[in-house]
Amino acid sequence: MKIVKAFVSVLLVVSIAFFQFGCSAFAGSRQPFSVTATERDAQIYINGELAGTGSVKTTVRRDQTASVMVKKEGYYPATRDVGTKMSSLGILDLIAGCCILIPLIGLAFPGSKELDQNNLSIILDKAPIK
């Protein structure tokens, strides 16, 4: 009987620890991101890779800055960097971590962050004709 009680106690503690692991650990590591350029045939690069032309919808890592470059012949290239901030799940993990230390582990996961912006519009300026 003592062995059963001990087993149930250990199982209960392990279960509580697992479920208190931190919400951020269960969030996805990627988030939706879209870029729209004023010129429909402008090339859009996200983190150095061609993502498409004119308007792009994709996903990017939520814990890393997204670097965007838009370019088209006859226009100045435009670049933007979209930084990250702590997500609502990260804030919940931080608050819960003040009471129980285990949720602080969630802050190490990508779900604890998110991009500053999900949608980006870029206006291209015409370059002077040479």
Q: Give me the residue spans of the domains in the chain.
A: 22-122
- Asked whether residue 17 carries a pLDDT value surpassing 60, the answer given is no
Q: Which fold has domain 22-122?
A: Immunoglobulin-like (2.60.40)
DSSP string, 13-42: HHHHHHHTS-GGGGS-SEEEEEEEESSTT-
- pLDDT tens digits, one per residue of 91-130: 777 777 666 666 667 777 787 788 889 999 999 999 888 6
- pLDDT tens digits, one per residue of 55-75: 999 999 999 999 999 999 999
Distances in Å between the alpha carbon of 81 and those of 47, 53, 120? 9, 18, 10
Share of the chain above pLDDT 90, in %: 48
Q: pTM, whole model, 2 decimals?
A: 0.75
With H, G, I as helix, E, B as strand and everything else as coil, classify residue 65. coil
